[in-house]
Chains A and B, each alone.
Chain A
Amino acid sequence: AQSVAQPEDQVNVAEGNPLTVKCTYSVSGNPYLFWYVQYPNRGLQFLLKYITGDNLVKGSYGFEAEFNKSQTSFHLKKPSALVSDSALYFCAVRVLSGGYNKLIFGAGTRLAVHP
């Protein structure tokens, strides 16, 4: 079955420290991967995507993600966390259904950045 796993319900980081939010996937064929962020009382916002090419993808707000095919992972990273990065983060993978794209989302990881 095609799926996305985010093994951590919550990640706690001190402001200024690097952060990593983990994601692993299981898909048939080439993986197309996405990260979204959800702030309180808001919808999801697109951060970045991996389609092909360079394994390190840069996105919005200083975030980047590293695609690792052998480990089937797509971890989200940021060199220096801000308190304002505190939010819910979702990893997603594209699957095909009847010739159309749809996204399968992980359960989400809550990131808490402490001053």
Chain B
Amino acid sequence: ETGVTQTPRHLVMGMTNKKSLKCEQHLGHNAMYWYKQSAKKPLELMFVYNFKEQTENNSVPSRFSPECPNSSHLFLHLHTLQPEDSALYLCASSQDATSGSLYEQYFGPGTRLTVT
């Protein structure tokens, strides 16, 4: 185990539903990340939080809404998704995301999301 947990592991939702993905890290890290992993495509960085402040929003549609209440928890709120949003959503954490640090990221197992 990497010390990063994600729930649920699998989620099926309709396009009109609202759901949330949860990530928790037990590593004492200060930076957390959301990635989208689709088949045959590189990992796409969605959001970055460093010390609870959002530092990156990689042109993600507003139907994805992140929340970082503290350095250990990260949520991804989902509403009115499209079928093309079906993917594996990965959470990661690292010690720090500021430019002077070069820490590796630790990933959770992901949430497999299917939008019907």
Contact = CB atoms under 8 A, between A and B. Distances in A.
B116 interface: no
A57 interface: no
Given A42-B109, A43-B6, A43-B92, 16 more contacts: A32-B102, A43-B90, A43-B109, A44-B43, A44-B92, A49-B102, A51-B102, A96-B99, A97-B56, A99-B99, A100-B98, A101-B97, A102-B48, A103-B45, A105-B42, A107-B41
B43 A105 contact: yes
Contacts of B99: 96, 99-101
B107 A101 contact: no
Interface in A25-66: 32, 34, 36, 41-46, 49, 51
Which of B48, B90, B98, B104 has most chain A Cβ within 10 Å? B104
26 contacts: A32-B102, A34-B104, A41-B109, A42-B109, A43-B2, A44-B43, A44-B92, A49-B104, A51-B102, A94-B102, A97-B56, A98-B55, A100-B50, A100-B55, A100-B56, A100-B97, A100-B98, A100-B99, A101-B97, A101-B98, A101-B99, A102-B45, A102-B48, A105-B42, A107-B42, A108-B42
